[in-house]
Structure 1
Amino acid sequence: MAKLCLPLLVIFLSLFSLSRTVEPAFSGHTARRSRARANIEAACRTTRYPDLCIHCLSTYVKPNMTIQSPQELAQVALTASLYRALYARAFVLKVARQINTLKRENQVVHDCLQQINDSVDQLSGAIKELRRLEKESVGDDLFWHISNVETWVGSALTDANTCVDALPGPNMSKLKATIKGKVLNVAQTTSNALALFHRFAKRYRAAGSATKKP
């Protein structure tokens, strides 16, 4: 019995020692994740779809990441919106090809595909423009970049909403209802991204107004 207890004691002590070693690192990751989550929840309160906003942004929070600044939040929100637009475009493109194969023209689907294509291009341009803002200080060039981002994200939102509005009514086919759901998700995430970008840009506009005062 003593021979059996000794190895068990060694294993127990080894596990106890390991748990004490791992616990601080795990706690640090948990604390960083909690801070990032708190920042996300606070920022998402300013959006039109806060629950969707929290879900999208939280997907990007890893144990070793801290998303804190309004610019980082806007960047992640735009990226999430772009991914959803790409996913919706792939689905609508597949449907459009099926329609062509079956020779059943459906102008609404093809128009929606064009609108989602435009949204993808505009969101891609907005993300690139936001990255350029990191190299700018307060000034006319900065505000020009900010205006570009707002214009492109706003246009992407308009295009997505146009597709959604073209698929109204409870009597639409299951296929069109699926398209509408996917594009509506693009519109909502883009709306949230625009709100978060406005939150980011607000501080620069305030700083710019202050420098222009006599």
Structure 2
Amino acid sequence: MAGLGLSLLLKLFCSLLFLSTMAKPAFARLSRSRAYIEASCRTTRYPALCIKYLSSYANTTSIQSPEQLAHLALSVSIYRALYTRNYVLKVAKELEASKVRGYQVVKDCLAEINDSIEQLSQSIKELHHLGLEPVGDDFFWHINNVETWVSAALTDASTCLDEFPVGKMSKLKATIKGKVLNVAQATSNALALFHRYATKYRATRATKKP
């Protein structure tokens, strides 16, 4: 488990490094990055959260394309998932040791979060391949893979949320549900931003067909 977490953190670092290599120090450029992020985030389901998480990177990274924004959004999503996984894992161990009721629910949720992290990891790796390939049939195959994996990651997070009741619950369970909801919302936003990126290239390909 620790090895998996380290591997994912390294992938996350590489993804953010990819973005940072595109950075330009000009203040006007960074202002345009913030404006671009804010405008793009308004098309997502949770725009306030999207702007909150992504705009902070505009201070160090120039974001001016759907591809860059998709990389950033997916990196943020997996970071939130890893953070939440560590918290839920800690809680699960404490509940198991004390034999408190509710351990199974938390354990099941943890399994869903782990699945979500794996799907997001695959999507980030696949998105990296997209930047290395020319637009063609294989390119769109990679796009479909990313969309499938991010959708699956969102489903996993939503399944975890379904484990918790809608009404009154303990403070601990409410905290877990809040953190997982945060992951689901960040992933939903990432999926929406990736859809914008994918739509751009599908439209480009369609206009080139005879």
Which deviations, in whole Å up to 9, do the C-alpha atoms of 1:141-192 show, x marking residues without a partner?
0011000100000000001011112212232110000000000000000000
Q: Is the 8 A contact 1:138 1:207 kept in 2?
A: no
Q: Distance in 2 between matches of 1:198 and 1:165?
A: 26
Q: Which residue of 165, 170, 175 corresponds with 2:167?
A: 170
Q: Which residue of 116, 125, 128 corresponds with 2:125?
A: 128
> Are 1:81 and 2:77 matched, yes or no?
yes
Q: Equivalences for 1:83-162 in 2 at 5 Å? A: 83-104=79-100, 106-162=103-159
1:167 counterpart SS class: coil
Give me the TM-score of the superposition, normalised by structure 2: 0.84
Q: Give 5+ residue unaligned stretches, structure 2.
A: 1-24
Give me the TM-score of the superposition, normalised by structure 1: 0.83
Q: Is the 8 A contact 2:38 2:55 kept in 1?
A: no
Q: Distance in 1 between matches of 2:182 and 2:117?
A: 14
Q: Give 5+ residue unaligned stretches, structure 1.
A: 1-27
Corresponding position of 1:66: 62
Q: Is the 8 A contact 1:156 1:190 kept in 2?
A: yes
Q: Is the 8 A contact 1:43 1:196 kept in 2?
A: yes
Q: Distance in 2 between matches of 1:145 and 1:34?
A: 32
> Are 1:42 and 2:39 matched, yes or no?
yes
Question: Match of 1:196, as an amino acid?
Answer: L
Question: Match of 1:70, as an amino acid?
Answer: P
Count of residues in Structure 1 that have an aligned counterpart in Structure 2: 185
1:60 counterpart SS class: helix
Which deviations, in whole Å up to 9, do the C-alpha atoms of 1:100-144 show, x marking residues without a partner?
111235221111000000011111110110010011122110011
Q: Distance in 1 between matches of 2:66 and 2:100?
A: 47
Q: Which has the larger radius of gyration?
A: 1
Q: Distance in 1 between matches of 2:45 and 2:166?
A: 23
